[in-house]
């Protein structure tokens, strides 16, 4: 069992599939108390049943809406009296070259990947300041380090997540609040499903089929950061499949 995880209250956005769901599984195995949000409530209900959690452990919450993220964090406080870790994980990856002018998707990815993280910060920070303890884990990407043709808007959102997280770290350290950026490469989840540009979707799905690593790789990193002694802040973990560029 990983140290310093048992009984921690952990809120996860985007917990209905992929990295969020797998991290919830590993946290529960290690004795954490999780509160899980996403838009697909049926998927959250199935996960709660799998993990033996009650209805108070899940809430339908769209991260693009600050009030819904606040309700998710408030639920953790109502159920457990505190929040130890806020994992701002929800995200979409509608990759497409800029010249396709998918302006509606640009707005969506900014609302979810950037504003969603800010909404998570806004919801949890006041509680963590009062507690004088807490931990933000914000999910960026290798694309938060590397822009390439076809991933520009997604990469911009993931660069923004890293900038927000580093600024947050510097501002909240006096309150004994830790900030970790997790920046994975290709991991086998439903994420390529958010690509609507047909050619890009085909190429990305092919790439993932060949190269992606399991979601457990991400959960291990999340638990490693959470499980550190309270005076150790893992600032960023950048990792990817060994064969990824
Ligand atoms: P999935 O598509 O499997 O999961 C994405 C999760 O985000 C789902 O639970 C989805 O739930 C949720 N989500 C999407 N939009 C919203 C929204 N508006 N409000 C609330 N929840 C939302 O992909 P991953 O698990 O891979 O993605 C998790 C994070 O990891 C993302 O931020 C992604 O960018 C990042 N990442 C993933 C990589 C990968 O290769 N898999 C690589 C690098 C980073 P629902 O639809 O039910 O709302």
Contact 203, 173 (CB under 8 A): no
pTM: 0.98
Cα-to-centroid distance, 37 and ligand 1 (Å): 11
Q: What is the DSSP string of 47-81?
A: HHHHHT--GGGEEE--TTSHHHHHHHHHHHHHHHS
Q: How far apart are CA 27 and CA 156, in angstroms?
A: 30
At 115-125, the pLDDT tens digits run 999 999 999 99
Catalytic site residue from 154, 175, 207, 208: 154
User: Among the atoms of ligand 1, which is closest to the Cα of residue 142?
Assistant: 43
User: Among the atoms of ligand 1, which is closest to the Cα of residue 140?
Assistant: 44
- 216 located within any domain: yes
Cα-to-centroid distance, 91 and ligand 1 (Å): 4
230 pLDDT exceeds 90? yes
Q: What is the count of structural domains for the chain?
A: 1
- 35 located within any domain: yes
Cα-to-centroid distance, 174 and ligand 1 (Å): 31
Residue 14 has φ and ψ, to the nearest 5°, of: 65, 45
- 25 located within any domain: yes
Q: Is 87 helix (H, G, I), strand (E, B) or coil?
A: strand
Q: How far apart are CA 148 and CA 132, in angstroms?
A: 40
Range of the domain at 36: 9-239
According to the model, what pLDDT value does residue 1 have?
A: 58
Residue count of the chain: 245
130 pLDDT exceeds 70? yes
Contact 136, 121 (CB under 8 A): yes
The answer for residues whose C-beta is within 8 angstroms of residue 154's C-beta and 6 or more apart is 93, 94, 95, 109, 113, 141, 143
Burial of 230 (0-12, 13-18, 19+ CB in 10 A): exposed
The answer for residues whose C-beta is within 8 angstroms of residue 232's C-beta and 6 or more apart is none
Mean pLDDT of the chain: 97
Contact 33, 82 (CB under 8 A): no
- 86 located within any domain: yes
Contact 179, 192 (CB under 8 A): no
First to last CA, the chain: 33
Cα-to-centroid distance, 190 and ligand 1 (Å): 8
Q: Which two tokens stand for residue 175?
A: 């309150």
Indicate the Cα dihedral angle 23, 24, 28, 33, nearest 10°: 120
221 pLDDT exceeds 90? yes
- 4 located within any domain: no
Active site residue 154: yes
- 1 located within any domain: no
2 pLDDT exceeds 90? no
Cα-to-centroid distance, 90 and ligand 1 (Å): 4
Burial of 212 (0-12, 13-18, 19+ CB in 10 A): buried
Q: What is the DSSP string of 139-165?
A: E--GGGT---TT-HHHHHHHHHHHHHH
Domain of residue 128, CATH code = 3.40.50.720
Ligand 1 pocket: which of 90, 196, 219 to mutate (most atoms within 8 A of CB): 90
According to the model, what pLDDT value does residue 145 have?
A: 98
Ligand 1 pocket: which of 11, 13, 18 to mutate (most atoms within 8 A of CB): 18
Among 54, 72, 75, smallest CA distance to 63 is for: 72
* Closest protein CA for atom 19 of ligand 1: 62
Which residues form the pocket of ligand 1, taking CB atoms under 6 Å from any ligand atom? 13-20, 38-40, 43, 62-64, 89-93, 112, 139, 141, 184, 186-187, 189-191
- 206 located within any domain: yes
At 47-83, the pLDDT tens digits run 999 999 999 999 999 999 999 999 999 999 999 999 9
- 44 located within any domain: yes
ipTM of the complex: 0.99
Angle, CA 219 vertex, CA 215 and CA 221 arms, to 5°: 120
Q: Is 132 helix (H, G, I), strand (E, B) or coil?
A: coil
């Amino acid at each position: 069992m990983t140290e310093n995880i048992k009984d921690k209250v952990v809120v996860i956005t985007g917990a209905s599939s992929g990295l969020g769901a797998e991290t919830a599984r590993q946290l529960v195995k290690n004795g954490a108390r999780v509160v899980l949000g996403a838009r697909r409530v049926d998927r959250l209900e199935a996960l709660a049943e799998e993990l033996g959690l009650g209805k108070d452990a899940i809430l339908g919450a769209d991260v693009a809406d600050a009030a819904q993220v606040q309700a998710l964090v408030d639920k953790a406080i109502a159920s457990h009296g505190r929040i130890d870790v806020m994992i701002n994980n929800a995200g979409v990856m509608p990759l497409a070259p800029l010249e396709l002018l998918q302006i509606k998707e640009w707005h969506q990815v900014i609302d979810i990947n950037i504003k969603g993280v800010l909404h998570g910060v806004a919801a949890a920070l006041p509680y963590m300041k009062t507690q004088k303890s807490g931990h933000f884990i914000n999910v960026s990407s290798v694309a938060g380090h590397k822009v390439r043709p076809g991933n520009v808007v997604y990469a911009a959102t993931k660069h923004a997540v890293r900038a927000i997280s580093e600024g947050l770290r510097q501002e909240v350290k006096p309150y004994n609040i830790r900030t970790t950026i997790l920046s994975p490469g290709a991991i086998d989840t439903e994420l390529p499903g958010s690509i609507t540009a047909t050619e890009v979707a085909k190429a990305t799905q092919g790439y993932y089929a060949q190269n992606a690593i399991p979601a457990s790789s991400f959960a291990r990193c999340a638990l490693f950061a959470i499980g550190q002694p309270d005076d150790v802040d893992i600032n960023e973990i950048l990792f990817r499949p060994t064969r990824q560029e």
